[in-house]
Amino acid sequence: MRFQVYWGDVLLGETALEAGDPPMGVAMGRLFPSPDYCRLRKNFISIWGGRLPQHSDLEVRFSGGGKLDGAPVWLEDYDMGKAFIEVTIFAIDYRIYAETFPEHNALYYGKSGD
């Protein structure tokens, strides 16, 4: 499943949120930046030191529409000059988490979901 990361109305990029911590309701993954992110990157790094804070209107949306509820959303870009940027969303409700990230639950709890 793909997700889009927005800062207000600006698409910053896409992610698969390929890793997570089910008991904590945390999903994280590599951000593949959009041209808008690349254009704004220097400002983000100079203002926030590589981490966009939770109050910066960041949100994660399903590619087909709708917001993935959780709070806060963090975007970290510390490796200046490298291509790895990480997005993390916290406090996802366990029911939404199980439905959205069954592979995370399977890895954490085992195939049976126990």
- Give the pLDDT mean for 57-75: 86
Domain that holds residue 98: 3-109
**Domain count of the fold of the chain:** 1
- CA dist list (Å): 80 to 8, 47, 93: 24, 14, 33
Residue 98 lies in a domain: yes
Q: How confident is the model at residue 113 (pLDDT cuts 50, 70, 90)?
A: very low
Q: Give the Cα separation of 90 and 25 in Å (integer).
A: 6
Conformation bin of residue 66: beta by default, left when phi > 0, alpha when psi is -120 to 50: left
Residue for token digits 């988490």? Answer: 97
Per the domain annotation, does 41 fall within a domain? yes
Q: Can you list the alpha helix ranges (DSSP code H) found in the chain? A: 35-48, 94-100, 102-109
Average pLDDT, the chain: 85
Question: How much of the chain, in percent, has pLDDT values that exceed 70?
Answer: 84
- Please report the pLDDT score of residue 54 as a whole number: 58
Task: State residue 52's pLDDT score.
Answer: 65
Does residue 74 register a pLDDT over 90? no
In a domain, 68, yes or no: yes
- Which residues, 6+ apart, have CB-to-CB distance to 36 below 8 Å? 10, 11, 12
Residue 114 maps to a domain: no
